[in-house]
Amino acid sequence: MLRIALLTLALLLASATTGRAAEFTLDPVHSQVMFSVSHLGYSHSHGRFADVTGTFNFDEKSPAAAKASVSVKTASLRMDDNAWEEHLKGSDFFNVTQFPEMTFKTTAVEVTGDKTAKVTGDLTLLDVTKPIVLDVTYNKGAVHPMNKKYTAGFSARGNLKRSDFGMAYGLPGIGDDVTLIIEAEGTRNEPATP
């Protein structure tokens, strides 16, 4: 009898510590990847990518186990100026014909607070893969009031050097240091119960 009780306790403890992270699909309307870079020292230019897709796995009880896989269509770049956009899409910068996609995949999560973490992942841009670190804040997880689906949202900031990925045009006038600004909202791929 004692053996059965111990076995049951062990199984309960195992199930409690190995919780299953739910998978979420990014909402393409409310998820944005934006960037900021110095323009000749006069100002900081801002751009965004309009086509962002991906999934993430997340459990509020085990945030260190979170994972994300995101794809960005480089041709969806928006700068609010046609000539500027076409230059950035060309071979001097994103070369969208040859490299139509950039991707990010999580490799590690370091929890830094109740709702914050440093997320390390591999960014692939121009066929070059380098690690970057994002400072991520978990904003909220709840049943969405409009679509009635369980939704989770995050904000992230990070920095990279574009020259690390072979994008050296215009240096040093056009900044090498790029600030990433990411807003991500995803819908859980299962019933809406918390």
Is the pLDDT assigned to residue 19 strictly greater than 80? Answer: no
Predicted confidence (pLDDT) at residue 56 exceeds the cutoff of 60: yes
- Length of the chain counted residue by residue: 194
C-alpha to C-alpha distance for 152 and 155, rounded to whole angstroms? 11
Residue 21, pLDDT score: 80
Q: How confident is residue 124, by pLDDT bands cut at 50, 70 and 90?
A: very high
Instruction: Judge contact between 181 and 35, C-beta under 8 A.
Output: yes
Cα–Cα dist 94/77, whole Å? 9
Q: Which residues pair with 25 in a beta bridge?
A: 55, 187
Residue-range domains of the chain with CATH: 21-188 (2.40.128.110)
pTM of the model: 0.85
Q: What is the pLDDT of residue 190?
A: 80
Mean pLDDT (the chain) is 89
Tokens matching residue 31: 């998820």
Q: What is the pLDDT of residues 83-117, one digit of tens each?
A: 999 999 999 999 999 999 999 999 999 999 999 99
**Gap between the Cα atoms of 29 and 32, Å rounded:** 8
